[in-house]
């Protein structure tokens, strides 16, 4: 199933999936973490896995377990990219719909306004117009409002992935997947 490439890079490997040679590379590897990227037939998708400290006595990524994990991660990347290609006609309108929701939230310029409010608030604190006891609750309110917008955006994308993908797309992979969808849409246009 897996063969090492003749290339000088020992971290590059190939897995045959349903008759297709899929090229991947381990881009980071330690005892507790591994990151893999797909190099062909798709590109620009990366994923990783972490072993928590309390589980390190069972496994680590430095040995054969790391190689087997890298293969599994590459298969997952390939299947995700393949799914996007096969279902782009269904995913594209949904992507546009969800992107419009995110744009509507981002166009409020709320985050930029929040940064300005924080600067003004800090200036008031420094020149003595307000004291620290008044400053902290106002600052926390601004931070909470920014977090609320970020949470709403995350929920929009959570819903997008839940509604349009058969398998779970890990949070760490989502930016790459969204970029791949956008790239495929541009290519189709």
Task: Express each pLDDT in 41-72 by its tens digit.
Answer: 999 899 999 999 998 888 899 999 999 999 99
How many alpha carbons fall within 13 Å on the CB side of residue 72?
10
First to last CA, the chain: 36
Q: Check whether 157 has a pLDDT greater than 70.
A: yes
Q: How confident is the model at residue 176 (pLDDT cuts 50, 70, 90)?
A: very high
Q: Residue 107: pLDDT above 80? A: no
What pLDDT does residue 59 have? 87
Per-residue pLDDT at 181: 95
Question: Lowest-confidence range among 61-70, 104-113, 142-151, 180-189?
Answer: 104-113
Look at the alpha carbons of 170, 175, 181, 183 in this order and tell me if their dihedral is positive or negative: negative
What average pLDDT does this structure show over 110-123?
Answer: 86
**Banded model confidence at residue 110, pLDDT cuts 50, 70, 90:** confident
Query: What range defines the domain where residue 37 resides?
Result: 2-188
Q: How confident is the model at residue 7 (pLDDT cuts 50, 70, 90)?
A: very low
Task: Give the per-residue pLDDT at 5.
Answer: 47
Reported pTM: 0.79
User: What distance separates the 2 farthest-apart alpha carbons in the chain?
Assistant: 71
Dist CA 177 CA 189 (whole Å): 18
Domains identified in the chain, total number: 1
- Dihedral of CA atoms 54, 57, 58, 64 in degrees, nearest 10, equals 120
């Amino acid at each position: 199933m897996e063969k090492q490439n003749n290339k000088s890079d020992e971290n590059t490997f190939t897995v045959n999936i349903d008759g297709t040679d899929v090229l991947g590379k381990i881009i980071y590897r330690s005892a507790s973490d591994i990151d893999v990227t797909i190099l062909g037939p798709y590109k620009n998708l990366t994923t990783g896995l972490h072993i928590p400290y309390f589980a390190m006595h069972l496994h680590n990524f430095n040995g054969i377990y790391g190689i087997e994990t890298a293969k599994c991660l590459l298969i997952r990347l390939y299947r995700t990219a393949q799914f996007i290609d096969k279902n782009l006609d269904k995913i594209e309108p949904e992507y546009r719909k969800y992107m419009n929701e995110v744009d509507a939230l981002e166009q409020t310029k709320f985050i930029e306004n929040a940064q300005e409010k924080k600067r003004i608030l800090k200036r008031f604190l420094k020149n003595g117009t307000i004291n620290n006891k008044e400053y902290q609750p106002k600052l926390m309110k601004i931070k909470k409002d920014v977090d609320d917008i970020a949470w709403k955006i995350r929920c929009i994308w959570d819903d997008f992935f839940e509604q349009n993908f058969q398998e779970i797309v890990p949070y760490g992979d989502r930016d790459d997947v969204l970029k791949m969808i956008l790239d495929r849409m541009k290519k189709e246009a």
